[in-house]
A and B are shown apart, each in its own frame.
Chain A
Amino acid sequence: MDEILEILNEVRPDVDFENEKLLIDDNILDSFDIITIVSEFNEAFDIDIDVEDLEPENFNTVAAMKELIDRLQG
């Protein structure tokens, strides 16, 4: 979780990732942020996040992102 937060804070230091629950639905993260974050996740966790995974429910919260990463690593 810490590594995920580190990546997220590096991409968007102005966002309170631990408390925001609707990062996509509230337009806090835009498509550019998502792609930057996905590239970082792919690199850091050696996974391949596919276009099909780019759904709001996978990126609305940090917990959802962790779940996605865990699923792809498993």
Chain B
Amino acid sequence: MTFVDLSFVVFLVAVAILYYVFPRNYRWVVLLAGSLTFFYLNSGYLLLVLLGTTIFTYLIARRIQAISDAGKQEAARKRLAGADKKRIKLQTKKKCKPYLVFGVLVDLGVLLYLKYYNFFAENANVLLASQNVHLPHLNLLLPIGISFYTLQAIAYMTDVYRGKIQADTNIAKFTLFMSYFPQIVQGPIPRHKQLANQLYEGHSFDYVRLCHGCQLMIWGWFQKLVIADRIAVPVDLIYNNYSDYHGLMVFLAAAGYGLQVYADFQGGMDIARGFSQVLGIELELNFNQPYFSRSIEEFWRRWHMTLGSWMRDYVFYPLSLSKSFVGISRVSRKVLGGFVGKRLPPIMAMFIVYFLVGFWHGAEWKYIAYGVWNGVFIVAGILLPEAYQKICDVLHIRRDSFGWRAFQVLRTFCLCTLGRLFSRGTDLTAAVQMFKSIGTEWWDVAFLLDGTLKTLGLDAANWILLIACIVGLYFIDSLHERGVHIRESIDRQHIVFRWVIYLLAIDAIIIFGIYGPGYDSATFIYEQF
């Protein structure tokens, strides 16, 4: 059962009705039952992996909490203050740390084993071929959302360790936090502080919220079924037969994939956020019009924001402030001096983050290349601002002009698009070949008019519809960018006009959604990560 099955819609309606029928204090039980059912229907007995991780994480966090509380009680009992209180705090942290490290290693170990074992085995076999080492290939099955809920579990334990939250005392409620079905498939990656209490406390029914939630879900399904799955047709054809294409066509396929993954991922998020809003639960925003970004660094602040903030809080910050990096910082300041010396350690940490971002997407070298590609441009943006300023001065470019800003947006779009060759290419070799082929006869634009487009799986009507949808997506994003609240604007319309909009949108999904014979909607792209 995926987000785009009719059975899922029936499931959502049933959960929502039961949620509001149950007494307020027990509404979380409906969500827990719904979440475990959804997980079981999608991953079968792999539900046990999720439950194992959940119970283990719960116990580790409880242990850390117990040690922290004992430390605080000791400080209070002895009425310690200042340096003495700090000493006790440090001692407590020291006692908690092994549990945190153990917890992170075990949770991460499960993910590494299930998702990355075959990748490591294949590479080890190549590297150690001369030693007659041969690690077997295992047919491992992944539970849905493992890449997401593992990060969620690590964040939870770390936040308890850092004293930012109290560990949960009810394992059933904690299981709901770990398995909440709208967000387990592809995020957003939640923080306990932001989500848990919203799940545990029952919410009252609210008609406006119901309307807003449904509107967001309809928009999510529209993005997925009408836009993303339609772009996927020519994009898949070109990527899967890349040697038959060259020049601008390959670039457009990469750009098309960028838009596909955007509509697909954001569509999934909107379905998850919309249904949660129906229940009175606000999930974190995962996108903030990323294609309006003026640099790659800004793009990653607006794209998959919860992954970015997770990497910042649990990898970048701790790594940059770790003893080894502080040591590197001291040396680099002496050796390299001012500007570069001060920035070298955080640049190294940044590179590690983007390597991990790439690797998190999948157990293949192409994803690592994708991460490195983004890391390189982010580091260039950090190290070269003076050079950019000089170029602007020489060319008499005003950096606050509309033209310059438009150029920056376009440049960011192009760099992201080229990066998509790595993330979508069938493998790293294919990605490199496609990269090269963009330079081959790039000036050839005849394919736009000579009927070639019709050989890419879409007829003229579908191309027109697709282009209209992309323009529509851009228009809606620009309204959001200007701070327009579209759903509130719809609220102010006459009831007849509102229902005309709803019915037209639903009709559009039914009529224009990509179904076809033996319909099986494309899996959400991020669901596979």
The chain A residues found within 8 Å of chain B, CB to CB, are: 27, 30-32, 34-36, 38-40, 42, 49-52, 54, 74
**Residue from A35, A54, A74 in contact with B349 in the complex, judged by beta carbons closer than 8 Å:** A35
B329 nearest in chain A by CB position: A39
Interface residue? B312 (CB, 8 A): yes
Among B1-9, B339-347, B362-370, the one that faces the other chain is B339-347
Q: Which of A35, A38, A74 is the most central at the interface, judged by chain B CB atoms within 10 Å of its CB?
A: A35
- What residues on B are CB-neighbors of A36 within 8 Å? 342-343, 346
**Residue from B82, B162, B320 in contact with A35 in the complex, judged by beta carbons closer than 8 Å:** B320
Known: A35-B316, A51-B321. A27 touches B301 (CB 8 A): yes
**Residue from B164, B312, B316 in contact with A52 in the complex, judged by beta carbons closer than 8 Å:** B164
- List 6 interface pairs A-B (beta carbons < 8 Å), by A numbering: A31-B312, A31-B317, A39-B345, A39-B346, A51-B162, A52-B164
Q: Return the CB mask of B338-377 against A: 1 if under 8 Å, else 0.
A: 0000110110011000000000000000000000000000
Q: Which of A34, A39, A49, A54 is the most central at the interface, judged by chain B CB atoms within 10 Å of its CB?
A: A39
Interface residue? B163 (CB, 8 A): yes
Cβ-closest 9 pairs across A and B: A35-B320, A35-B346, A31-B312, A52-B162, A51-B317, A51-B318, A54-B317, A32-B346, A39-B329
- What residues on A are CB-neighbors of B301 within 8 Å? 27, 30
Interface residue? B382 (CB, 8 A): yes
B302 nearest in chain A by CB position: A27
Bound Cα distance from A49 to B320, whole angstroms:
11
Having A32-B297, A32-B382, A36-B343, one finds 18 other A-B pairs with CB under 8 Å, namely A30-B297, A30-B301, A31-B316, A32-B350, A35-B316, A35-B345, A35-B346, A35-B349, A36-B342, A36-B346, A39-B329, A40-B342, A49-B321, A51-B162, A51-B318, A51-B321, A52-B164, A74-B82
Known: A32-B346, A32-B382, A51-B162. A38 touches B297 (CB 8 A): no
Known: A27-B301, A39-B329. A50 touches B346 (CB 8 A): no
Chain A: minimal CB distance from B389 (Å): 10
A32 nearest in chain B by CB position: B346
Q: Return the CB mask of B460-504 against A: 1 if under 8 Å, else 0.
A: 000000000000000000000000000000000000000000000
B330 nearest in chain A by CB position: A43
- What residues on B are CB-neighbors of A38 within 8 Å? 321
Bound Cα distance from A51 to B321, whole angstroms:
7
Chain A: minimal CB distance from B429 (Å): 33
B350 nearest in chain A by CB position: A32
- What residues on B are CB-neighbors of A39 within 8 Å? 320, 326, 329, 342, 345-346
- What residues on A are CB-neighbors of B318 within 8 Å? 51
B345 nearest in chain A by CB position: A39
- What residues on A are CB-neighbors of B316 within 8 Å? 31, 35
- Contact status B342-A50, CB under 8 Å: no
Bound Cα distance from A66 to B255, whole angstroms:
46
- What residues on A are CB-neighbors of B343 within 8 Å? 32, 36
- What residues on A are CB-neighbors of B349 within 8 Å? 35
Bound Cα distance from A54 to B326, whole angstroms:
16
Chain A: minimal CB distance from B87 (Å): 14
Within 8 A of A (CB), among B96-153: none
Bound Cα distance from A36 to B317, whole angstroms:
11
Bound Cα distance from A41 to B349, whole angstroms:
19
- What residues on B are CB-neighbors of A30 within 8 Å? 297, 301
Chain B: minimal CB distance from A56 (Å): 11
Within 8 A of A (CB), among B290-306: 297, 301
Bound Cα distance from A27 to B293, whole angstroms:
13
Bound Cα distance from A51 to B314, whole angstroms:
9
Chain A: minimal CB distance from B104 (Å): 14
Q: Return the CB mask of B69-93 against A: 1 if under 8 Å, else 0.
A: 0000000000000100000000000
Bound Cα distance from A36 to B339, whole angstroms:
11
Bound Cα distance from A52 to B326, whole angstroms:
16
B318 nearest in chain A by CB position: A51
B353 nearest in chain A by CB position: A31
- What residues on A are CB-neighbors of B326 within 8 Å? 39, 42
Bound Cα distance from A38 to B343, whole angstroms:
12
Bound Cα distance from A42 to B343, whole angstroms:
15
Bound Cα distance from A40 to B82, whole angstroms:
25
